[in-house]
Chain A
Amino acid sequence: MKRNSLKIAAISGALIFAASMAACSSNSPPAGGNAGTTGPIEIWYSNNKAEVTWGKAMVAEWNAAHADQQITAQEIPAGKSSEEVINAAITAGTTPCLIFNTAPVAVPQFQKAGGLVALDTFKDGAAYIQARTGALADQYKSSDGKFYQLPWKSNPVVLFYNKDIFKKAGVDPSQLATQADLLTAARKIKQSGAAQFAMWPSPGSEFYQSWFDFYPFYAAASNGTPLVKDGKSTFNSDAGKQTAEFWKTMYAEGLASKEVYQGDSFADGKAAIAVSGPWAIDYYGDKVNWGTVPVPGLTASDKSYTFSDAKNIGLFSACKNQQTAWDVLKFATSPDQDGKFLKTTGQMPMRSTAVTDYADFFTSKPAYKAFSDQATRTVEVPNVNNAVEVWQTFRDAYSKTVVSGQGTVADMLKTTADKIDQLVAAK
């Protein structure tokens, strides 16, 4: 029996060794095409119902006019996240030409993997992006100064509040101009028992959760400063400290829940305030008697900043007909299609002239007007090396100090800033 075990172990070891050697020598042919080629292309879009409706209409319109450059479209295949699916497709060389839901935080990784085409490759690439999006487009440039994503649409987050709960608690929503005001309102709501919690952002440990608690408030407090600027973290500052202290107090006093809510705490009336983008207008609809106010900063301002929650369009290197892909990209982000996208989905096209271009829409649907104004003052996740790890590092430290209340905010911000600076500087 022992001899058999030894034999099995020896054979297993040999197989694993052989497999290791085979792995070393793997080689694959290059894929993709070059700018200048035209023909049929494939695209993926989000599985969001409204975006699918717009996507199908856009594709039908293009296909009707381009018999030799037909688009085949489908929703992004299911996975734990879109980014995971896209990463796998890049490695396998099976990405479509365009993906209309590329998260900016994942772009540095896709770029490093050689999965994306720099849009500057096209003659009018950079000029088109800058003309459409204006100065905000600069946030989407990669460290080599090129655009590997087309800034497409944003969902600038604001505070949705429940009018009924506010009325019951005796809180005036117009008095939410600063973080201190919000804290006072939160205490009133909790004390009145009008809602279980004033706010219930997810306290989960996932890297992206900070985009819906700390980051919008930090953007507002710091007058639009990204988490990392010019290769250095910025949050170990007065704005960062006060924002982190604000949230720490919210958790310490039980004004925000430390537990993950299964469902939508705002829609269920468990929380009085939610941090959401314009997509939530249709979602909450008549379910909640809601209103919106901008995310408050340290001082009152009618020009406050927030997090963009943008999703962009990537042109992938496995694409054979890249010229067609670029032409489709411009068609899908033309003034006409941007207008249709806005009307169908309620999300803001990243067009610097959107407020005037679609004035009729904003007049007929005033709830969206605040978002169109806010969309001009947004902060994106920084386009830096190891972007996901940067956010995970921040989230881990934030969870420990701010959510769980261990240690001081000052120490946490300093230690985390040092770690993040190293991550950004690393390859």
Chain B
Amino acid sequence: MTTTTAAGPARTRRATGKATGAILGRQPLGLVFVAPYVLYIVLVLAYPLGFAVYMSFHDYFFTAPGVEVPKPFVGMDNFVAILTDPAVARSFLNTLIFLVINVPLTVVLSLVLANALNRVTRLKAFFRVSYYIPYITASVATVAIWLFLFQGSGLINQLLGPLAPNPSWLINESLAMPVIAIYVTWKQLGFFILLYLAALQNIPNELYESASVDGANKRQQFMNITVPGVRSATLLVMVLSTITGANMFTEPYLLTGGGGPNGASASPVYLMYKKGIEQGHPGLAAALGVVLVIGVLAVSLIQRKLVGGEED
């Protein structure tokens, strides 16, 4: 009995200390250091996302301060309206077409080019800058170049002559989205090459030397050392290019005259802009945004499962 009484407070103190430790961690001061970033995340990411979730369940309308307009709770109505809208379905199909073309192309081209750039000994800086220029150039300017190339009377059709597609690229329902996917691949390539170049620096040269001694040729070295060696970078490239594709706005806005032809290049984000900003239905736009976020998360998780990426 006595023993129990004496051990009680000590055990309680230990338990309390454990609980405090579990919440504050072994270094409570660390919380102070991460607080500014947490605050940033809350204000810039969590609050807008939370507000979007709130709007998606309401018949929301932006009003002047102090003006009372009913914004009733509508349950899943906005989601039903969005998921049964053929234009929205088409925009998700467009995104899927985009991703199917853009993501593999981005991964393959950026890895191959990064590998080549890593081996180049002369004009290394020139090549790196050349690939990076489209990435940092304003979309408005690069879109103008692609219009020059892909319009009916553009350079590509002139080169193709009778083989040019009819209707032409950007007004062809089957070709508009692939052209956009290739354009975005080209524009973003410089950034992803840099990611792979950084990853390539982490592969020890000894591995290549050993493989060479064992008789592995360049292709075998690439497939068995380089590709597995940059696996975490590949996952990052896939996730980032998926997010970029899902957030596509400028291309349908500028390249295909507002998501044309007949919505064949409209993206979910472009529809969000039209519904939320132009047409005054932020609730519908928010519901579309929530569906898009869930979709991107799902695709990213699948990519993670397929590629793996965690360091062992």
Contact = CB atoms under 8 A, between A and B. Distances in A.
Interface of A: 1, 12, 15-24, 28-32, 83-84, 87, 90-93, 95, 109, 112-115, 196, 202-207, 257-260, 262, 317-318, 386, 388-389, 392, 396, 399-400, 403-404, 406
A313 B117 CA distance: 59
B308 interface: no
B65 A23 contact: no
B50 A16 contact: yes
A91 B62 contact: yes
B303 to A, nearest CB: 15
Contacts of A396: 87, 262-263
Given A114-B64, A399-B260, 20 more contacts: A15-B41, A15-B42, A16-B53, A19-B42, A19-B49, A20-B54, A30-B67, A32-B64, A83-B278, A84-B278, A91-B64, A196-B153, A205-B257, A259-B171, A259-B257, A386-B279, A388-B278, A396-B262, A399-B262, A404-B171
Contact of B63 (A113, A205, A400): A113
| Cβ-closest 10 pairs across A and B | A19-B50, A30-B66, A114-B67, A204-B257, A205-B258, A15-B46, A93-B65, A260-B257, A20-B50, A28-B65
B139 interface: no
B62 to A, nearest CB: 4
Interface string B263-303: 10010000000100111110000000000000000000000
17 contacts: A15-B42, A16-B46, A23-B55, A29-B65, A30-B67, A84-B277, A95-B64, A109-B280, A112-B63, A113-B62, A114-B66, A206-B257, A257-B152, A262-B144, A388-B279, A389-B281, A392-B279
Given A205-B258, A258-B171, A392-B278, A90 B64 contact: yes
Contact of B274 (A204, A392, A399): A392
Contacts of A262: 144, 147
Contacts, number: 141
Size class of the contact patch on chain B: 35 or more
Nearest to A427: B59
A112 B281 CA distance: 12
A91 B46 CA distance: 21
Contacts of B151: 259
Contact of A87 (B62, B257, B261): B62
The secondary structure that dominates the B interface is loop
Contacts of A400: 262
B47 to A, nearest CB: 4
B235 interface: no
A19 B151 CA distance: 46
B280 to A, nearest CB: 5
B257 A202 contact: yes
A389 B87 CA distance: 13
B63 A91 contact: yes
A92 B65 CA distance: 7
Contact of A115 (B41, B64, B87, B279): B64
A30 B259 CA distance: 39
A204 B263 CA distance: 11
B37 interface: no
A22 B50 contact: yes
Contacts of A87: 62, 277, 280
- Of B42, B66, B69, the most chain A CB neighbours within 10 A belong to B66
Contact of B47 (A19, A91, A95): A19
B180 to A, nearest CB: 14
Contacts of A31: 64-66
Contacts of B66: 28-32, 93, 114
A1 B308 CA distance: 14
Nearest to A24: B54
B172 to A, nearest CB: 10
B226 interface: no
A95 B279 CA distance: 20
A396 B173 CA distance: 14
Contacts of B61: 112-113
Nearest to B46: A15
Nearest to A28: B65
A23 B64 contact: no
B166 to A, nearest CB: 11
Contacts of B260: 203-205, 399
Interface in B236-261: 257-261
Nearest to B57: A20
Contacts of A206: 257-258
Contacts of B167: 258
Contacts of A83: 278
A294 B26 CA distance: 81
Contacts of A12: 46
A112 B258 contact: no
A19 B51 contact: yes
Contact of A1 (B62, B262, B310): B310
Contacts of B170: 259
A10 to B, nearest CB: 13
Given A32-B64, A90-B64, A16 B49 contact: yes
B115 interface: no
